[in-house]
Amino acid sequence: MKRLFFLLLIIFTSISYAQEKKKIEYYAEQQEADEEKYPGATMLLGNVRMKHDGIDLTCQKALYYKKENFFKAIGTVFIKQGDTITQTSDYADYDANYKQALSWGNVVLKDPTMTLTTDTLQFDRINQKLYYKTFATIKDATNTLKSKIGNYYLENKKFTATTRVTVVNPEHNLESDHLDYYTETGFTYLWGPSTITNTKNKNKIYCEKGFYDTKTDISHFVKNAKLYLKERTVEGDSLYYDKRKGFASATNNIKVIDTVQNFITKGNYAEIFELKDSLFIIKRAVAITIVEKDSMFVHGDTLLVTGKPEKRIIRTFHNVKIFKSDLQGKCDSIYTNQATGFTKMYRNPIIWSDKNQITGDTIYLKSNIDTEKLDSLKVFNNSFIISKDSLSIDDFNQIKGRNMYGKFEDNKLKTMLVDGNAESVYYNRNEQTNIIETITKEISSNIEFTFDKGIVESIKYLKATEGKTYPPSKLPEEVKKLKNFIWRESEQPKKMEDIFIIDTDEIKAPIKKAGFPETILDEKKIGKKKPTKAVILPDSDKDQ
């Protein structure tokens, strides 16, 4: 029983002490009571001061409700907490039991890192939290933040702002629905649809989740990220951007849209050097040239795009494949100059146009830069064109020579000139019965062909020839196929998705064999190390 009494005594003493601690201390030049007008209140007039648990308040007039331990300040209210936080307002209510303050009318709160102005401000002293619901402006050394609703946590100098949020400084303007902002560091964490606009060059960033350092202009976004540069739009699952260095990198489901040219690049890792007008992209990298109703897709292990739009160069390295409905291709490396319309294919290049397979040591394609249609074709050294006979599995029409020069009409191969050491094997069919009547083998220094719907329509021998025509039953086996004949239909991308297939016999093909140094990077190390510089194919058009 004595022990119980002792415990009750301790509890009662603690409660009494706590209640005593909560008690408001106040001073005024004049005190009055008006039960009719202010029931239960003491009116305080002249040089009013109030203290409570580390907070000091002064005002012109106040009402003190002793029973409720509640203080209502009126006119030129000044509140100070510790040595760092001050606040002014027209009015304030203070509940000493719960340590809650409500201020309204021209509220200005200051701490060492920022100044907050609003019309109405709630101060939760227990949790050291300020919150507002009627718009506020926060200024620190770097930025001005505005929002309709927000909380400020005094201990870690953090604003959580929602609804019509802006963060502005001389270089950028940020708009968001929800963000966390730290006044000491300038760190901003974005949790909803947000846009950051560069006030100098009008570049913009959009995201729905991310981080932005307002002092260094470095940002990292991880949801629906889009970067709008002067001449490009960059999209990706994850986007890093250093505004001052003009550098951006993106990861997974990347799309880079050239807003000047009809040109898109895609992949799963990209680096953009804004000041150098260059783009580096790997991992299912593909360049898409937008052509009305029929775009061209070029895939390679690595894409490098350099130069301004009017002088843009596109280089694609290793395991390159091209798909267009009327033209497909494959090579190790490819170079395209959008200003001149020239495309150069290197190392074991091959293109398929209609029913024709064309190969050589090097292939050049020329497009009309106005219509974006194919204009001409050049095949240098060991040029070879093969087309399968229309009604036979094992019979092939063939033309080979040193060099070939072709012309296109409406993206269809129309004429072809074989220049030097020309040879041909051609199957002649009866026009009515379509039965093979003869097979002709010709040798000449130069031969010119015309095509109709991908089929040889006429042959013109420009110099003396030697040749022989055979009936099908007497065609020698060695005449059937010209030397170095290879039919590579299995490598042809028949649909756009086929450009990502790497043919097994070329997965580890030696690059040095073609005269180009090995590139470029080990994809497994991307993200861990800065990629090695790509090998640059020459800009010279001297072979054109």
CA end-to-end span of the chain: 110
Per the prediction, the chain carries an average pLDDT of 84
Mean pLDDT of 145-150: 95
As to burial, measured by CB atoms within 10 angstroms (0-12 exposed, 13-18 middle, 19+ buried), residue 148 is: middle
Look at residue 326 and tell me whether its pLDDT is greater than 70: yes
Model pLDDT for residues 419-454, shown as the tens digit of each residue = 888 888 888 877 777 788 888 888 888 888 888 877
Mean pLDDT of 101-128: 94
For residue 56, give both structure tokens.
Answer: 């000091």
Among 438, 460, 439, 440, which residue's Cα sits nearest to residue 449? 460
Mean pLDDT of 369-396: 84
The CA-CA-CA angle for residues 35, 98, 80, to 5°, reads 90
Q: Is 284 in contact with 268 (CB distance < 8 Å)? A: yes
Rounded Cα–Cα distance for residues 345 and 10 (Å): 92
Among 104, 58, 48, which residue's Cα sits nearest to residue 79? 58
Rounded Cα–Cα distance for residues 287 and 299 (Å): 6
pLDDT at 173: 92
Helix residue spans in 2-77 (DSSP H): 2-22
How sure is the predictor about 506, in pLDDT bands with cuts at 50, 70 and 90?
Answer: low
* Of 60-69, 223-232, 290-299, 435-444, highest mean pLDDT: 60-69
pLDDT at 280: 92
How sure is the predictor about 69, in pLDDT bands with cuts at 50, 70 and 90?
Answer: very high
Three-state DSSP at 22 gives helix
Residues near 213 by beta carbon (within 8 Å), at least 6 away in sequence: 185, 186, 187, 188, 219
Say which range, 199-203, 288-292, 470-474, 526-530, has the weakest mean pLDDT.
526-530
Name the percent of the chain in helix, strand, coil, to the closest 5: 10, 60, 30
Residues near 210 by beta carbon (within 8 Å), at least 6 away in sequence: 189, 190, 194, 219, 220, 221, 222, 223, 225, 239
In this structure, which amino acid lies at residue 217? D
Mean pLDDT of 187-201: 91
Look at residue 272 and tell me whether its pLDDT is greater than 60: yes
Choice between 146 and 426, residue whose per-residue pLDDT is larger:
146
Mean pLDDT of 4-22: 41
pLDDT at 472: 83
Choice between 424 and 79, residue whose per-residue pLDDT is larger:
79
Look at residue 156 and tell me whether its pLDDT is greater than 80: yes
Model pLDDT for residues 385-428, shown as the tens digit of each residue = 998 876 777 788 888 999 999 898 887 888 888 988 888 888 88
In this structure, which amino acid lies at residue 23? K
pLDDT at 258: 86
DSSP 359: E
Say which range, 26-30, 325-329, 445-449, 511-515, has the weakest mean pLDDT.
511-515
Look at residue 140 and tell me whether its pLDDT is greater than 50: yes
How sure is the predictor about 117, in pLDDT bands with cuts at 50, 70 and 90?
Answer: very high
Look at residue 14 and tell me whether its pLDDT is greater than 50: no
Mean pLDDT of 44-69: 94
Rounded Cα–Cα distance for residues 477 and 471 (Å): 13
Count of residues for the chain? 544
